[in-house]
Structure 1
Amino acid sequence: MLLIAGLGNPGQGYAKNRHNIGFMAVDEIARRWGFSPARSRFQSLASEGSIDTPAGPVRALLLKPQTYYNETGRAVGEALKFFKLQPADLVVFYDEIDLAPGRFRMKTGGGAAGNNGIRSIAAQVSPDFRRARLGTGHPGAKELVQGHVLSDFHKVELKWVAPLLEACADALPLLAAGEDERYQAEVMRLAPADKADPRALARGKDA
C-alpha cells in the first residue's frame, strides 16, 4: 500500500496559496485515478483508490491533513501507524521554494531545509520518507518567504501549475512502482520548465 500526502492548510482562504500546491496535487491525483470521495479520517480528508502499474494495481490512500501545515506529522504519523507502513511507503507532495517555478524533483530522506511541515513529518515518522518537491520559486529574501508561500498563485503562474499537476497524476504508475527517478523524468517530460536559480529569478523581477 502507498500513502500519498499533500501539504497545505485547510479552508478556502488558503486554497489557492503556493503553500497548498501539495493539496492541489493530491486533488488532481484523486480526479485522474477515480479515488473515492474524501472523508474525515486520520485528522485529514482521506480518499482511497488504486493506481494501475505494469505489475498490477497498487492500493493507495490520499491524505490532505487538516492539522495545518506545520503540524502535518500528527496526521501522517497516525495513518502510517494504523496501516503498519514504513517510511518508504510514504510520498509527500509539497511546495519547494528552492526550486524554480514549475520544476519537479523527487528525493528520499534528508533534512527539512526550513520546511516546518517536512520537519513535523520527520519528527513523527523518521526522515526517510519519499518527497515529491514542486518548485514554486523563491521571493529573493528570507523575510519575504512567509508572505510568498501564503499568497495565491498569480493568474500567469497557472500556465505552469496546471500542466505540472496533471503530469504528476499522469505519470503516477511509475511512482507507485517505486521508480522515483523515472517518475521525476516523466513529470518533467510532460511538463517541462526552465531550470533556473529561483533567487535570481526573483531578483530579475525586482530589477
Structure 2
Amino acid sequence: MEINRCSWCGTDPLYVAYHDTEWGEPVKDDDRLFEFLTLETFQAGLSWITVLRKRENFRKAFDAFDYKKIAHYPDTKVEALLLDAGIIRNRLKVNATITNAQAFMNIQKEFGSFSDYIWGFVDGKPLQTHCKAPSDLPANTELSTELSKDLKKRGFKFVGSTVIYALMQAIGMVNDHGEDCFRYKALS
C-alpha cells in the first residue's frame, strides 16, 4: 500500500524517516528543543538535508546538545569545533550556539522552562494549517516574526523569522503537513 507523504521529503531514507517520525511532532522537552534550535541555526542559508546528514556529528561535537555545557564553552572548544569537518564550520553560528545556550537558560529562569515560553506563543497547542501543496507553505509568518523579534530581544542570534518558522514546523508548533499526507491527520 502506498503512503502519501509531503513531497518535500523525496525518497532519501533519512529525509523520509525524519518526515515520518519527527517533523511536526510536538516537542516540549527543553533538551530536544535546544537541539532543534541549534540545528535550525546551522541550517540558515543551507538545505535541511545537509544538516540532517550531519546531525550525529553535531550531537557528538556539541556534547549531545547539553546547553548547560555549551553555555560555558571556552575559546579552545570553539577552535576545536571550527576544525571539525563533521559539522558546518561557521564561526558566527558556533558562537551563536554558545550565546543561545546562555539566553536559553535565562528564559528557563524566567518562565520555568523554554517549552513554556515558546509554546506560550500558540497557547500550548499546535496551529493547524491547510496546505494542499508545498508551494502553499510560507517561509515565515507574522507569528514567526513576532517570536523572532522576542528571541532577539532576549539575546538570541541567528533566529530570523524564516529560521524560527522552520523551528515551529519542526517542533510541531504548526502542522504544515499537506492535507493528503498521512501525518496530517495524526497530528491534527
Q: TM-score, normalised by structure 1?
A: 0.29
Structure ranking higher on relative contact order (CA contacts 8 Å, 6+ apart): 2
Judging by fraction of residues, say which structure has more helix.
2
Q: Scaled by the length of structure 2, what TM-score is found?
A: 0.31
Normalized per residue, the structure richer in strand is: 1
